[in-house]
Amino acid sequence: MKFFLEITYHGASFYGWQIQKKNISVQETIENCLSFLLKKSIKIIGAGRTDTGVHAIQMFAHFDFYEKTILLYRNILFKLNSFLPLNIKIINIFPVKKTIHARFTAISRVYEYRISLGKNPFYLDRSWQWLSKKKIKLNTLNKGAKILKRYKNYISFCKTNCNYNICHIYNAKWYIKNKILYFNIEANRYLRNMIRSIVGTIIELGIGKITIKDFINIFYAKDRNLAGISAPAKGLFLTKINYPLNINLI
C-alpha cells in the first residue's frame, strides 16, 4: 500500500529536505523514525525539495509499506511525532491510490516569502530582516509580480544545472501586514533557487536599483548574472501543495 505523509517543519536546523551524505536533512530524519517504528527500512519521496534553512508549513511525501498492519496502528501518528524532533511534525498519514505520486501528481506548489520591515528578534530565523533605509515601494513590487506571469522561461533565475527551464506561474502578489512584507507565488514547478532569485530581483526593482525595462530584459538575457541577489533562505516557506481531488484510497 502507498501512504501519504503531510508534514510541517522549521528548516533552520536542516540542510534542506533531500538526503545528503554528511549533513542532516528533513527526509533522513523522518525516514529514520519511520524505519524504527515500523521495524523495516522505509524510504520516502517528497513532493519537492527545499533548500537549507527553508521552512515548510505543508509538505507531502509518500512511502510504500506492504503490510496492512500499519492501519492497525491507531496511535502511529502520535508515536511518530514522539520520535521526531520538535522542529518536525507529521500532521496526517493516510493511504492513497497506487498511481498517486507525491511529486509528479502535484498540480501546483505555493510558496511565501517574508521580509521583516525593520529589526524584529522574533522573526530572526523566519524572515529577511530589512534594515536598509531605502524604502521598498509596494506598487512597484506588484508591477514586477504581474510581469512574472507573462513569461515561461526562468533560466535567468536558476542557480545552476537547469536543463528544463519552463515554469508556469499562476499567481504572484506582494502585500504588507503588521510590518511584514509578504510575497506569495504559485506555480506548477520551480527551478533551483528560483523564488529567492526572483525575490531578490524584484526587491531591487522596488527600491529603484533597476527599472521595469531592466527587469524585463533579464528574462530575455537568459543570464543569472543579470538578475538580483538571492534572498536569504530563512524567509522562504512552502505553504501549500495542491493535488487532484480523490487521491485517497479510502
Selection from 136, 132, 130, 134 nearest residue 117 by Cα: 130
Burial string for 212-242 (b: 16+ CB within 10 Å, else e) reads eeebeebbeeeebeebbebbbbbbbbbbbbe
Backbone angles phi, psi at 187, to 5 degrees: -150, 165
DSSP 3-state assignment of 48?
Answer: coil
For residues 154 and 220, give the distance between their C-alpha atoms in angstroms, rounded to a whole number.
9
Sign of CA dihedral 245, 107, 59, 42: positive
Residue in 51, 64, 214, 223 annotated catalytic = 51
DSSP 3-state assignment of 120?
Answer: coil
For residues 13 and 53, give the distance between their C-alpha atoms in angstroms, rounded to a whole number.
7
51 is catalytic: yes
Instruction: List, in order, residues 6 or more apart from 9 with CB less than 8 Å away.
Output: 26, 55, 56, 59, 87, 88, 89
Is residue 154 part of an annotated ligand binding site?
no
Label the pairing between strands 108-116 and 128-129.
parallel
As annotated, the binding site for substrate includes: 111
As annotated, the binding site includes: 111
Active site amino acids: 51
